Structure 1
């Protein structure tokens, strides 16, 4: 964690460069529609009791994670926009987030802090600090995520939201593992578990169009509770966003002041709508 601790220390004293391009970033991009993807080949159905046990095992493991702090390579691949950057992430449930995006040379590009109902975003190049409520609209201005803060935190903590459903189905997969399908009104959610009964993929659909697919991979042998690789697919944009953690710690102590929403001295403050 040495590299991470150095970067976290530097978060408290951001250097303001003259000119930095703000990436079209970028924690994640979400809730866009496209054609439904092909499913893995299904095997025989499994009982509802077994399916419920899979969900419960994942939830028990995931809910043991209260926070993460990590250093990741952020990669966005899209037809007209490819971005590579470093991402320092501090996430604490249920609704605390600090994300600093750095260029490959370590230059600060964006610092986003959200704590409950409040958020702030610093653009170091312009020395502008945006401050307001942590509504999906305000968050979406900086991370392209029309998503509630608590839901975003859930995705990052390996706790993606489960939709309300009236029908549940479950099948074995011929390639190994299981597929669970939860169907609601005009929406559907699909879970894929591997042979180790770990949740490795969750997809959200509306009217049979894929909105978002999240994949989790590279579970550590010593600590299998948190995946080191997160991949988001946004089919409408033909885009893929990847967070590849080189350093990550779960349930570590995070100083409360790192989530403080306050403009740095000398910054021009722009107030966002409530």
Structure 2
């Protein structure tokens, strides 16, 4: 067999080889409840993140990429700033989990109101509650409340396949065999979204995906968040979550659906006694 033929043969053979599997300190796991517990613990190791990122949005209406500065802290603290191509501020959204504020430089307008899913998701084409949005941006998967679980080892992909079941709803989790972090989540049987995580970075006890992808198939929408220079688990700077409007900005109150609330009419001043 000449060298070229040998190289082609080896490439074909190796392309079908299973991934080399590294297991964590627990060794191979065959109990779904035990793996689910380890996954939950691994996700809980990350509490805060602060730094720069790029958000790519693809929808049927079009696609584009934004530069962002993010400061996120569980359970529901959000600070997101977006910038244009020339790195000029475009908008800033802040939420303390109860109230939100959004400042838009164009129009010098500050919107404020309850931290409802519609309000905290204003930068996104999908609507998520603040705690769920924080979890996803931290690379964590919201789990369905499972009635039962199954577990398999996919040697071809080199991952655990943990399935959660609740009635006709299923959630399939591909889990890293060494670090117990979810690398992909797919929910079926109910409107929802899929998640994929990659380019993991380890800092102390925390393992963090620098790439987060959210796919909402029903809406034909995909979000890709790529972190660049970030700090993990630093004490949160609470001043970043203050809701005061910038001086001189026009302030607009909105309701939970994001609709502008008309100012209440001023109460008439009481007349003189006996009038």
Of 28, 38, 46, the residue aligned with 1:57 is 38
1:172-183 matches, cutoff 5 A: 172-173=153-154, 174-183=156-165
Q: Secondary structure at the match of 1:258?
A: helix
Cα displacement string for residues 77-130 of structure 1 (whole angstroms, at most 9, x for unaligned residues): 234311111111100111100011112321212211000211001111111111
Query: Alpha carbon RMSD of aligned pairs, Å?
Result: 2.1
1:199-218 matches, cutoff 5 A: 199-207=182-190, 211-218=192-199
Please, what TM-score do these two structures have when normalized by structure 1?
A: 0.75
Gaps of 5+ in 1: 1-46
Specify which structure has the bigger relative contact order, considering alpha-carbon pairs within 8 angstroms and separated by 6 or more residues: 1
| Residues 1:249 and 1:167: Cα distance change in structure 2 (over 3 Å) | same
Distance across 2 between alignment mates of 1:155 and 1:72: 14
Of 250, 257, 264, the residue aligned with 1:268 is 250
1:239 aligns with 2:221: yes
1:147-226 matches, cutoff 5 A: 147-173=128-154, 174-196=156-178, 197-207=180-190, 211-220=192-201, 225-226=207-208
Distance across 1 between alignment mates of 2:246 and 2:52: 23
Gaps of 5+ in 2: 1-27, 257-275
Distance across 1 between alignment mates of 2:202 and 2:74: 24
| Moved >4 Å (runs of 4+) | 221-224
Please, what TM-score do these two structures have when normalized by structure 2?
A: 0.75
**Matched residue, 2:87:** 106
Distance across 2 between alignment mates of 1:151 and 1:213: 13
1:82 aligns with 2:72: no
Give aligned pairs, total.
226
Larger radius of gyration: 2
Q: Secondary structure at the match of 2:103?
A: strand
